[in-house]
Structure 1
């Protein structure tokens, strides 16, 4: 019995070879089936009905000898059920694999290649060649898999050697295949011409065979040109036209081409599919071709980054009950992931890829499965995948016939993914060390340096990230990933002109890429209006500074950036409190401008203060300067200070304030701020405030962080005769713990809860001291990069003038861009 095989089928498309026939061995029947019955099943399989034979083989799997195990692999491969081939192969014990006839191994290698598992295919081709170096089918498959895997130089070298040693149809087909994927037009023309010469039989038969051969070698345009003179059957012509369009799709996904070239090819493919679908519309005999065109068109849409259209068409085909091939579902998964629909992407990729060991996944497949798991918040799954790749993928690999070790892309993929995993679980310290080591060991790999810079930026160390990107810029200054990361750094450093130019450039060059869309969205948000609101509402309080049933609001509305560095704003503040001597209130209207540039930030504000029926004019200047990623110095100068106690304002007392601070920031794990300010009250009182505060990260988890917030404050007042709380000297030690727990996270949507607990000691000169305590619970919500709001209920207890007073209040804030 013989079967027509398809050794050129790959990348999800069927490519038919001319005259490659493999024998299915007919052996004596086993229990449950006679020789004649088995022959009958084989004949049915040859006629296209392979299911009965495959079912029989599956039901008798424990009694199959090596020959019939090979039959199973061969028939399943011939039936294009590649996942079944791989499943049967992987379930065979090692000794059974070693006893398989070569035709069974050939079937497995072809299936690995059809599933685009190039490395697995290469390993199996090499094993077959070690067993039988003269087997031309295996040699052909090995060379084509080298080309598929991107090793074009070695594939071309081996293809030319194959032709020199065996100048026949098969060797020329292989050379045409390799040159079509990696060769200039003259090389491709030469290969096609030599194929023609290899088949000089009767003229029409020669041309018909050449059409089939060119199609098998993915040279569809010449095949169509020759076929147009031969009055081909309509179905055959439709197949060739589909092959020609599918060839453009494959070329549009070839990484060796530039991005601009891939876009042009994808546009050609889309135009071709539009023409074919319009021509075949309403033709009953072309329904199968129309379906195939719609399926293959998904790849062209994906190459053009039209992800919404890919998803829409895929879901429509699925609703129509179509069973889409593996490669189409793979395209749909990529579109879902790029469109930030990680849940749908993961479910598809899990179905397609998780049966394959992580260490045997192609790098692109491993990356997309990892990021789908990571972005759908399957963090443990993503971490296990990265660690499995690292554990099972060696640092080097060896190609057949070459003693020289080659870099193993799977090993590097595992290392890179593990760095992203560490960053996702908030272990930015480990992620930085990991990515820094990778970058140092691979100084020529720009992607590793960009990853390192990304981690530095996540730790709020933008200047260190900028230095890394400057080194990478020397290798390829116009790299899109490099420019995108430089744009993020420019935004953080307030390099607004650079930020604008970089976003403009990457938007022009790759407008539809997901990373570009995300950057463009950040640029759009950065230039929106911004509303800030913060406030405090007292619920129950004996605090002599704020009074009872107090309400304090601070609002500011910022306009978009003007003249690169400036943002105008208007503001409104309101304060109200109830004291023993009566109620007090204050209203403030403000107008100002914000200035920001690299290393500098400032606000200048002119305000009107309305209290006790009168109006006064206030001025505020706030400024800070950053020396590097770690040190910042700042100052606040204010006439009619907002920090003046409301109780003093109610009694007609105002104050002017001048202060400064020094901030040291190590990274997200540790920071400290030392502040000093002086206030001059209109009743003659002089107040000095001193404070040191900080943060120490105690615990990090993907969804939980615990920070120690030390605080030590002290103040002095020259006068205690005013109608407001002004102790001669006091000191307050008030460390607290803040737990931040993520309840829900999905891309830009974040919902979390916070717990605050603190205990300390307060001492006031002349009144002794006592314990202080703080407890609070709050929640925060952020969405779509434009909304961030939160509220916390806080209870506190502290002695004032020797008496313990409590305070229960709600603090809240809102930041909204529109």
Structure 2
């Protein structure tokens, strides 16, 4: 929290109590009662102390009477000459029988000189003479408070207030004792009572201002000070103005109905700081205050989401040798995290958490921030450890006096939620799901938990389940920004583009500087972009018994470029593309050039695509067409189909002999979650040479190991085909065949930072291939690839593979390179 300057609690009290404690002063008879001396005494009472003191100082110590010593002690006390009072008492009055007024003046002098024991001794001596004297009781109570015995002072002054509750001086004394006891809010009540009864007195009003300041109510304190010019000195006034700005900084960090409200508060604080700095920076005596304002101003800048300026001003302060306090380092660390400098933020959060003056109330928040800094800097294991340790450090309930079972601890729930989410970001989604579900069962009304659970469902490829969960949360807190952002992402996964736009627009209007909101808006912008896709491949086949490249050719190459328009009316896109393929066969070199023009429509539960095409493979231009549809039944089941006239799946070797095909395909897919799925597809086709082919393919994937950097999947491909015409056709056309190929696929993340990812892939497989009229042979597969994505708009990847397998009983080794690129603009 911003530092609040606290005035010296003695300031303003001494003049008041000097008057109060001397109000009953009685003058004894003087040794020389001549008229000039009487006048000097009267002048001393009026504030002209010098004449009387001059005369009294000239009286020899061995000739001074008790009355003269008493006069000397009292007048010197009025003059504020505490050292002289003590010196006269110790050299001349200690062994005299002095009146109560002289003892009181001496006790007060000892107290002002912080000689508490001597002051206490004299107050008790005076009270022995006048035990009911309230002024003596007040003086002793204040001495006890100053001497480190505030509880005794509180007991004494409470008794005085109870005896005369309307006496403002007694209220002030009790407030003073309570302040010394650290009970500032109780003290404020007494100062308030004194102000009600004697608020017109400057000393009372001044102490009330300071009391308000001590309990962090600088705004009413400043208002009262401004209503009465001269009530406090300019130094204290400027510090009050700084405290008001610091209070606004603290308020700007509280949750409000909109980001704009927080920004308005922060803007007021920044305006105040700018005025103070412009006024007082040139004054060397205000250097300490100016430095404190510059530090506290960091909080206003951070609340205003001007985090780059926070870092810049922090660096300026460090360059000037300023020691940044812990409460401000929290703002600096948050600024570095916001500016995507997580390594610096992590070091600074560690510094904050290790600081001896850290605020325990901020421990969970700061540890959570450290977790995110570590997570974003690539230290996932350390981040997870931090989250687990935080969860262990918090108790489920807060013990309160009078409540045998305490109250639920919100910090415990926050820490448990963080630990559960740490498991999901560590790729242990199943454990994270179970842990979150347990927490939701305990606190079904916790919006943050329910939103986190919905986000987990989306990560597990269950967007409809996520949507249902968020709808239930919406009934509890319909305007929660976390809820709205999660709904936006879910709408995107469900291809609910209009809903996504409404959510993104509303979130941006309410919280334009929220990073989560900005992320949602960025993904919406990417969706609205045009898209370029490029795919290319090349291969070389060896072996094959003189018929190398029985399927794709001994050397082959192909490339296709597709360009999609930005969305039209949200759901529609127009696309166009061109492609080229070439391959070397026994019959000669085959080529195919094609152009495509089509449209796709993406709506909830359905993706539809239709196109027309033109092909030129050496026998004149020929037109083709294709339609395809994909439908989602729910989060687990999906089916689809397609039909093509002059199918793009026709082998190039067949086209080289002017054999075309028409065909279709149907599939059904079951997906349990993000790491397990199976798909079965059946693809019949009819060739222009009369051949009818039916192909079936079953593919499956099972995740077996996952960390933030490494994912391992087991795969399986089971394929079969049948052709009605297997002889006298110019392309590979087995009567029937069957293959089984288990694979191991490894994805290793080499670098990940926000929207930039670089990874490498390894692939290995070994299986069998059986072809009718030929013996069964083995299949071996090895592959290596890399993939790079940047800023949501660019992705490129390549895969080089080697596969060895038989065709028509002849073993062939095929080297292939596949490259794909996607760019949105």
Give the C-alpha shift of residue 13 in structure 1.
Answer: 3.8
Q: State the SS of the aligned residue for 2:733.
A: coil
* Residues 176 and 217, structure 1, Cα contact 8 Å, conserved in 2: no
Pick closer, same or farther for the CA change 1:794–1:175 going to 2, 3 Å: same
Give the C-alpha shift of residue 449 in structure 1.
Answer: 0.6
Q: Is 1:352 the equivalent of 2:343?
A: no
* Residues 539 and 810, structure 1, Cα contact 8 Å, conserved in 2: no
Q: Is 1:801 the equivalent of 2:769?
A: no
Q: Structure 1 CA distance, aligned partners of 2:331 and 2:195?
A: 35
Give the C-alpha shift of residue 309 in structure 1.
Answer: 2.5
User: 1:538-567 CA deviation, whole Å, 9 max, x = no partner?
Assistant: 145532111123112222111211112111
Give the C-alpha shift of residue 701 in structure 1.
Answer: 2.3
Residue of structure 2 in register with 1:461 after alignment: 462
Give the C-alpha shift of residue 264 in structure 1.
Answer: 2.3
User: 1:3-36 CA deviation, whole Å, 9 max, x = no partner?
Assistant: xxxxxxx64444446249xxxxxxxxxxxxxxxx
Q: Structure 1 CA distance, aligned partners of 2:705 and 2:186?
A: 57
Give the C-alpha shift of residue 244 in structure 1.
Answer: 1.3
Q: Structure 1 CA distance, aligned partners of 2:585 and 2:697?
A: 27
Residue of structure 1 in register with 2:796 after alignment: 789
Pick closer, same or farther for the CA change 1:192–1:650 going to 2, 3 Å: farther
* Residues 466 and 490, structure 2, Cα contact 8 Å, conserved in 1: yes
Give the C-alpha shift of residue 346 in structure 1.
Answer: 0.5
Residue of structure 2 in register with 1:482 after alignment: 483
* Residues 760 and 787, structure 2, Cα contact 8 Å, conserved in 1: yes
Q: Structure 1 CA distance, aligned partners of 2:660 and 2:150?
A: 96
Q: Is 1:446 the equivalent of 2:447?
A: yes
Give the C-alpha shift of residue 382 in structure 1.
Answer: 1.8
Residue of structure 1 in register with 2:708 after alignment: 702
Q: Structure 2 CA distance, aligned partners of 1:358 and 1:225?
A: 29
Q: Structure 2 CA distance, aligned partners of 1:301 and 1:550?
A: 61
* Residues 541 and 812, structure 2, Cα contact 8 Å, conserved in 1: no
Give the C-alpha shift of residue 176 in structure 1.
Answer: 11
Residue of structure 2 in register with 1:224 after alignment: 222
Residue of structure 2 in register with 1:333 after alignment: 333
Residue number among 629, 633, 637 corresponding to 2:639 in the alignment: 633
* Residues 175 and 186, structure 2, Cα contact 8 Å, conserved in 1: no
Q: Structure 2 CA distance, aligned partners of 1:586 and 1:257?
A: 62
Q: Structure 1 CA distance, aligned partners of 2:423 and 2:210?
A: 52
Q: State the SS of the aligned residue for 1:362.
A: helix
Give the C-alpha shift of residue 799 in structure 1.
Answer: 0.2
* Residues 803 and 815, structure 2, Cα contact 8 Å, conserved in 1: yes
Give the C-alpha shift of residue 404 in structure 1.
Answer: 4.1
Q: Structure 1 CA distance, aligned partners of 2:428 and 2:525?
A: 30
Q: State the SS of the aligned residue for 1:405.
A: strand
Give the C-alpha shift of residue 192 in structure 1.
Answer: 8.2
* Residues 248 and 265, structure 1, Cα contact 8 Å, conserved in 2: yes
Give the C-alpha shift of residue 238 in structure 1.
Answer: 2.3
Residue of structure 2 in register with 1:432 after alignment: 433
Pick closer, same or farther for the CA change 1:196–1:17 going to 2, 3 Å: farther
Give the C-alpha shift of residue 794 in structure 1.
Answer: 0.3
Pick closer, same or farther for the CA change 1:211–1:582 going to 2, 3 Å: same
Q: Is 1:730 the equivalent of 2:775?
A: no
Give the C-alpha shift of residue 520 in structure 1.
Answer: 1.1
* Residues 191 and 211, structure 2, Cα contact 8 Å, conserved in 1: no
* Residues 178 and 186, structure 2, Cα contact 8 Å, conserved in 1: no
Residue of structure 1 in register with 2:195 after alignment: 196
Matches within 5 A, 1:166-565: 168=175, 193-194=192-193, 196-197=195-196, 200=198, 203-228=201-226, 229-231=228-230, 232-255=232-255, 259-280=259-280, 282-354=282-354, 362-541=363-542, 542-565=548-571
Give the C-alpha shift of residue 514 in structure 1.
Answer: 1.1
Residue of structure 2 in register with 1:690 after alignment: 696
Residue of structure 2 in register with 1:149 after alignment: none
Give the C-alpha shift of residue 281 in structure 1.
Answer: 5.3
Q: State the SS of the aligned residue for 1:474.
A: helix
Q: Structure 2 CA distance, aligned partners of 1:699 and 1:135?
A: 68
Give the C-alpha shift of residue 573 in structure 1.
Answer: 1.7
* Residues 532 and 814, structure 1, Cα contact 8 Å, conserved in 2: yes
Give the C-alpha shift of residue 283 in structure 1.
Answer: 4.4
Q: Structure 2 CA distance, aligned partners of 1:425 and 1:538?
A: 38
Give the C-alpha shift of residue 167 in structure 1.
Answer: 7.1
Residue number among 620, 633, 642 corresponding to 1:614 in the alignment: 620
Give the C-alpha shift of residue 202 in structure 1.
Answer: 8.9
Residue of structure 1 in register with 2:145 after alignment: none
User: 1:439-488 CA deviation, whole Å, 9 max, x = no partner?
Assistant: 12211111111110010101110011111111111111111111110001
User: 1:297-323 CA deviation, whole Å, 9 max, x = no partner?
Assistant: 111122222222322322333344332
Give the C-alpha shift of residue 208 in structure 1.
Answer: 3.1
* Residues 780 and 789, structure 1, Cα contact 8 Å, conserved in 2: yes
Deviates more, 1:297-306 or 1:225-234: 225-234
Q: Structure 2 CA distance, aligned partners of 1:451 and 1:543?
A: 52
Deviates more, 1:207-216 or 1:598-607: 207-216
Q: Structure 2 CA distance, aligned partners of 1:504 and 1:469?
A: 18
Deviates more, 1:305-314 or 1:672-681: 305-314
Larger Rg: 2
Pick closer, same or farther for the CA change 1:360–1:238 going to 2, 3 Å: closer
User: 1:256-308 CA deviation, whole Å, 9 max, x = no partner?
Assistant: 77655433211211222233333345444444433322221111122222222
Residue of structure 2 in register with 1:86 after alignment: none
Give the structure-2-normalised TM-score: 0.76
* Residues 2 and 246, structure 2, Cα contact 8 Å, conserved in 1: no
Q: Is 1:656 the equivalent of 2:662?
A: yes
Q: State the SS of the aligned residue for 2:400.
A: coil
Give the C-alpha shift of residue 508 in structure 1.
Answer: 0.2
Q: State the SS of the aligned residue for 2:404.
A: coil
Give the C-alpha shift of residue 170 in structure 1.
Answer: 7.0
Q: Is 1:18 the equivalent of 2:9?
A: yes
Pick closer, same or farther for the CA change 1:793–1:619 going to 2, 3 Å: same
User: 1:210-262 CA deviation, whole Å, 9 max, x = no partner?
Assistant: 33222222232333344344445443332121111111111112347765543
Matches within 5 A, 1:733-752: 733-752=740-759
Q: Structure 1 CA distance, aligned partners of 2:788 and 2:537?
A: 18
User: 1:346-402 CA deviation, whole Å, 9 max, x = no partner?
Assistant: 011011114689999622122112211222222222222222233332222212344
Q: Structure 1 CA distance, aligned partners of 2:527 and 2:798?
A: 24
Q: Structure 1 CA distance, aligned partners of 2:181 and 2:621?
A: 89
Q: Structure 1 CA distance, aligned partners of 2:355 and 2:275?
A: 39
Matches within 5 A, 1:93-108: none
* Residues 172 and 195, structure 1, Cα contact 8 Å, conserved in 2: no
Matches within 5 A, 1:69-148: none
Q: State the SS of the aligned residue for 2:763.
A: strand
Give the C-alpha shift of residue 650 in structure 1.
Answer: 1.5
Residue of structure 1 in register with 2:138 after alignment: none
Provide runs of 4+ in structure 1 moved above 6 Å: 132-137, 170-180, 355-361
Q: State the SS of the aligned residue for 2:333.
A: helix
* Residues 358 and 366, structure 1, Cα contact 8 Å, conserved in 2: no
* Residues 12 and 325, structure 1, Cα contact 8 Å, conserved in 2: no
* Residues 540 and 549, structure 1, Cα contact 8 Å, conserved in 2: yes
Give the structure-1-normalised TM-score: 0.76
Q: State the SS of the aligned residue for 2:476.
A: coil
Q: Structure 2 CA distance, aligned partners of 1:136 and 1:387?
A: 48
* Residues 607 and 619, structure 1, Cα contact 8 Å, conserved in 2: yes
* Residues 173 and 195, structure 1, Cα contact 8 Å, conserved in 2: no
Q: Structure 2 CA distance, aligned partners of 1:299 and 1:358?
A: 16
Give the C-alpha shift of residue 328 in structure 1.
Answer: 1.4
Q: Structure 2 CA distance, aligned partners of 1:195 and 1:781?
A: 73
Pick closer, same or farther for the CA change 1:359–1:441 going to 2, 3 Å: farther
Give the C-alpha shift of residue 134 in structure 1.
Answer: 6.4
Deviates more, 1:357-366 or 1:448-457: 357-366
